[in-house]
C-alpha cells in the first residue's frame, strides 16, 4: 500500500463510534517502525505529523464531517508542519559508478529525524502526484480511511465497508 495511506490509516474507527489509534503507546510505535530508539517525544511528533497529513488528505478530497474531524488542523498549519518536517533532513543525491550504477541519497540525520522526514516527504510526493486525482475518502458509516481508487467502480476502501454500508441502508429503509 501507499506509505502515506498506510500512515494515515494508523488511526481508524473502533466499530462503536470511537477511534482506535495504532500509535497510542511506545510499544505500538516500536511495532510499527524499525527505527530505534523510539521515545515518547518521537511518538508525539509522529502523531502530530499524522494529524497534519490527515488534514491535507481531508482537504484534497474535500471530505465532510467524519469521526476524526475534531482532530484536523487548518490547511496552512498542516502544510507548514509537513513542509518543515521534510526540510529538517536535507539530503544530497550521490552517484556511485559501479555494477550497477547507483543513486544514493546521503544525509546526516539521526534515524528518528529521518523517519519523520521520510513520512513527510512521502506525503508531499503523493499529494503533488497524479495519484491524488483518484484519492477518495471512504463514505462507509464511521470509516475514516482514505484510498486510491484502483478501478472506476471502486466506492469503498475495502469490501467490508461496502457490506456495512449496504446493511445500514437496509436497516434505515426497514425502520423509516
Any contact of residue 138 with Zn ion (CB under 5 A)? yes
Instruction: Find the binder of Zn ion among 38, 119, 143, 144 (CB under 5 A).
Output: 143
| Count of CB atoms situated within 10 Å of the CB of 115 | 21
Residue 11 pairs in a beta bridge with 21
Instruction: Find the binder of Zn ion among 46, 63, 81, 161 (CB under 5 A).
Output: 161
* Burial grade of 52 (CB within 10 A; 0-12, 13-18, 19 or more): buried
* Dist. CA 35–CA 42, nearest whole Å: 10
Which span (7-15, 82-90, 123-131, 153-161) binds Zn ion, by CB under 5 A?
153-161
Which span (85-93, 108-116, 117-125, 132-140) binds Zn ion, by CB under 5 A?
132-140
Identify which of residues 15 and 98 has a Cβ nearer to Zn ion in the complex. 15
Here the cell at position 110 is 539521526
Question: Where does this chain bind Zn ion (CB under 5 A)?
Answer: 138, 140, 143, 145, 157, 161
Amino acid at each position: 500500500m501507499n506509505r502515506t495511506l498506510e500512515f494515515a490509516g494508523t488511526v481508524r474507527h473502533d466499530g462503536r463510534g470511537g477511534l482506535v489509534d495504532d500509535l497510542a503507546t511506545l510499544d505500538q510505535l516500536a511495532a510499527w517502525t524499525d527505527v530505534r530508539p523510539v521515545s515518547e517525544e518521537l511518538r508525539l511528533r509522529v502523531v502530530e505529523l499524522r494529524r497534519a497529513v490527515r488534514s491535507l488528505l481531508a482537504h484534497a478530497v474535500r471530505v465532510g464531517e467524519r469521526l476524526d474531524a475534531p482532530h484536523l488542523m487548518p490547511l496552512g498549519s498542516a502544510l507548514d508542519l509537513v513542509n518543515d518536517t521534510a526540510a529538517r533532513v536535507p539530503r544530497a543525491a550521490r552517484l556511485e559508478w559501479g555494477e550497477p550504477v547507483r543513486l544514493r541519497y546521503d544525509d546526516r540525520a539521526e534515524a528518528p529525524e529521518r523517519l519523520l522526514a521520510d513520512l513527510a516527504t512521502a506525503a508531499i510526493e503523493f499529494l503533488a502526484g497524479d495519484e491524488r486525482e483518484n484519492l477518495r475518502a471512504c463514505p462507509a458509516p464511521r470509516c475514516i480511511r482514505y484510498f486510491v481508487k484502483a478501478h472506476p467502480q471502486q466506492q469503498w476502501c475495502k469490501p467490508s465497508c461496502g457490506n456495512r454500508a449496504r446493511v445500514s441502508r437496509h436497516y434505515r429503509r426497514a425502520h423509516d
